Amino acid sequence: MLGLSLLGGCSPLLFLLVLLLPLVSLHRLNHQERSEPSVTDRPKLLLVSFDGFRWDYIDRVPTPNFRSIMDEGVLVEYVENAYITKTFPNHYSLVTGLYAETHGIVANEMYDPALNMSFSMETDSIYDSRWWEEAVPLWVTVQKAGGRSGAAMWPGSDVKIHGLFPNQYLQYNASVSFETRVEWIIEWFSAPKEEAVDFGVLYWEEPDESGHNLGPQSSLMDVVIAGIDEKLGFLLNELKKAGLYEKVNLIVTSDHGMAQLSADNIIELDEYVSRDMYTWVDKSPVVGILPKEGKFDEVYNSLLDANPNMAVYKKDDIPEHFHYRHNIRIMPILLEAKEGWTIMQNRTGHFMLGNHGYDNTLRSMQPVFVARGPAFRQNYVKTSMRSVDLYPLMCHILSIRPLPNNGSLLNVQDLLSSLPDSPTPIPNHPPPTPPKASGYSYAPVVGSFLGVVMVLGFLVVYVILVTLKQRPSLKHRSWEMSQPLLQEDLHL
């Protein structure tokens, strides 16, 4: 339409330009994407995790701040996170795009038989780099690519990994308030251009802690969830005050959900097997069992079929779809409680009303996901994604080349305001099936459009050349004068 109306009133050169414009601007876009962006226009991204914020919490009480992100951005309804659905494994999956068996943080409590070392999120053992170096977190990759990153208490972000800390980070300290963490993040993003961070990660311990103590079904959780929405509001407001709101892409998600437990649903291992025969490395609801020397068969046979509410796997028999087998830190026997059940040695231990760690396809285990900012579409609801898909998405937003990972940009590119211009490889893993994903591609449409534009372009050039050749005097005359003739020729 634009071309046709110009045809009547403008000169042929202009018309030619209009036709060729799409090609020129596409070329320029490609060029921009490939060259190093200058410091000021480098894309910005802030990834926020509210620990244990289950996907459906936003519908439970009014959550106006989550709503505003959804209205201005995107919501993903079904996010399949990584097995096991625990804090450390999932936070590392979010920033590496890898399943736990590949990134090596397979649990909150681990034993590495090769290192003969134990890892516990309760101790300083987490500061040993060797636990983390089977993968490279995004903040390190950003820095190796010449960008800068800042981290406020994200699990692992105060550990030196592959020789680097984040450019800016806070030593983990649960007593530091959310507001203080936000103030640091704002300061890092607002620093003078050479020092400003490009990628930030922000972590908050709630509503996980309350979910464990109260149980997600407790009505007291309503207040906790409303409180998280207020904290999110504080963050949004600080971003606005600092003039960052329209610049920074913001992703708000979580590591896992929370299931309601009951003191009636307890599995006592002491009933089935003596404590002397094994060490339990990781605890309920998915228990890593290391049998004592020579006791494997006895322990395994005692536990197998012991309790209908507990699945018992030899490491090699752990279901394929968990992607939870191929790591020396995964114990020889894995016990998995049914949703809502607790595995203990006896009832004397610490019992919680809420827990997570269960099967990652359970709805109760899944996190919230909303995002907004210049890179994201507006007011768009996507049905499903895997949390490992977030990594290639973040790399794309930051213009960083992703390291090998288990995610797929193709699965999530419909969240973006403009589609990636380079062809994306076919994903190893399609989006999670239940419910069916709504992934689609513009590539064929864009391709045919380009084809048509090019054919038209060449046609126009040809016609003009022929016209010019036929009328050698034309080039000495003004374009305005030649207009009626060309107009006639072009009335196809």
Ligand X SMILES: *[C@@H]1O[C@H](CO)[C@@H](O)[C@H](O)[C@H]1NC(C)=O
Burial (Cβ within 10 Å: 0-12, 13-18, ≥19) of residue 448: exposed
Under rule CB under 6 A, residue 38 binds ligand X: no
Kindly tell me which residue out of 360, 406, 408, 413 binds ligand X, with binding defined by CB under 6 A.
406
5 binds, among ligand X, Zn ion, none (CB under 5 to 8 A by kind): none
Q: Give the interface segment with ligand X, choosing from 52-60, 301-309, 373-381, 401-409 (CB under 6 A).
A: 401-409
**From the candidates 87, 102, 141, 342, which is the catalytic residue?**
87
Pick between residue 286 and residue 388 the one whose CB is nearest to ligand X. 388
Mark the segment that binds ligand X (CB under 6 A) among 172-180, 251-259, 305-313, 329-337. 172-180
116 touching ligand X, by CB under 6 A: yes
What is the closest distance, in whole angstroms, from the C-beta atom of residue 261 to ligand X in the complex? 19
Active site residue 87: yes
Q: Residue 129: which of ligand X, Zn ion, none does it interact with, CB under 5 to 8 A by kind?
A: none
Distance in angstroms (rounded) separating the CA atoms of residues 357 and 340: 11
DSSP β-bridge partners for residue 288: 282, 334
What's the sign of the alpha-carbon dihedral 283, 288, 292, 297?
Answer: positive
Residue choice 25, 173, 237, 433 for contact with ligand X (CB under 6 A) = 173
**Cα atoms in the Cβ-side hemisphere of radius 13 Å centred on 181:** 27
The one among 86, 91, 231, 323 contacting ligand X by CB under 6 A: 323
Q: How far apart are CA 202 and CA 152, in angstroms?
A: 5
Query: Which residues in 134-145 are b (16+ Cβ under 10 Å) and which e?
Result: bbbbbbbbbbee
Helices and strands (DSSP H and E) totals, the chain: 14, 18
Could you give phi then psi for residue 422, rounded to 5 degrees?
A: -95, 145
Q: Which is nearer to ligand X, 176 or 242 (by Cβ)?
A: 176
User: Which residue number has the CB closest to ligand X?
Assistant: 404
Amino acid at 465: L
Which option in Zn ion, ligand X, none does residue 188 bind, with CB closer than 5 to 8 A by kind?
A: none
Taking the complex as a whole, the smallest distance from the CB of residue 19 to ligand X amounts, in Å, to 44
Member of 348, 426, 484, 491 binding ligand X (CB under 6 A): 348
Q: Angle 469-473-475 (CA atoms, 0-180°, nearest 5)? A: 80
By a kind-dependent CB cut-off of 5 to 8 A, residue 255 interacts, out of Zn ion, ligand X, none, with Zn ion
Reduced to 3 DSSP states, what percent helix, strand and coil does the chain have, rounded to the nearest 5? Answer: 40, 20, 40
With b for 16 or more beta-carbon neighbours within 10 A and e for fewer, the 6-45 pattern comes to bbeebbbeebeeebbeeeeeeeeeeeeeeeeeeeeebbbb
Least Cβ distance, residue 99 to ligand X (angstroms): 6
If one asks whether residue 102 binds ligand X (CB under 6 A), the answer comes out as: yes
Q: How far is the CB of 72 from ligand X (least distance, A)?
A: 33
| Beta-strand pair 109-112/117-120 | antiparallel
How far apart are alpha carbons 187 and 200 in whole angstroms? 11
| Phi-psi region at 52: left, alpha or beta (left = phi > 0; alpha = psi -120 to 50) | left
Q: Please report how close the Cβ of residue 168 comes to ligand X at its closest, in angstroms.
A: 17
Q: Which does 80 bind (CB under 5 to 8 A by kind): ligand X, Zn ion, none?
A: none
Phi/psi of residue 241, nearest 5 degrees: -60, -35
Interface ranges with Zn ion (CB under 5 A): 51-52, 87, 208, 255
- Does position 254 interact with ligand X (CB under 6 A)? The reply is no
Using CB under 6 A as the binding rule, whether residue 175 contacts ligand X is answered as: yes
CA-CA distances (angstroms) from residue 236 to 47, 182, 242, 362? 13, 10, 10, 31
51 binds, among Zn ion, ligand X, none (CB under 5 to 8 A by kind): Zn ion
Please identify, using beta-carbon distances, which residue of 56 and 112 lies nearer to ligand X: 112
CA angle 397, 90, 255 (to 5 degrees): 80
Cβ at position 460, least distance to ligand X in Å: 47
Single residue of 121, 159, 176, 456 touching ligand X by CB under 6 A: 176
Site for ligand X in 409-448 (CB under 6 A): 428
Could you give the CA distance from residue 180 to residue 164 in angstroms, rounded to a whole number? 24
C-alpha span between 1 and 350 (Å, rounded): 71
Closest approach, Cβ 88 to ligand X, in A, equals: 18
User: How far apart, in whole angstroms, are the C-alpha atoms of residue 475 and residue 408?
Assistant: 54
Comparison of 290 and 474: residue with beta carbon closer to ligand X: 290
Closest CB 177 distance from ligand X, rounded Å: 7
Q: Please work out, in degrees rounded to the nearest 5, the angle formed at the alpha carbon of residue 369 by the alpha carbons of 95 and 326.
A: 40
**C-beta of 15 vs 172, nearer to ligand X:** 172
53 or 199, CB closer to Zn ion? 53
Q: Which is nearer to Zn ion, 93 or 408 (CB)?
A: 93
Which range in 97-105, 149-157, 310-318, 470-478 contacts ligand X by CB under 6 A?
A: 97-105
| 120 or 424: CB nearest Zn ion | 120
Give catalytic residues, as residue numbers: 87
Which residues bind to ligand X, rule: CB under 6 A?
98-99, 102, 116, 173, 175-176, 323, 346, 348, 404-406, 428
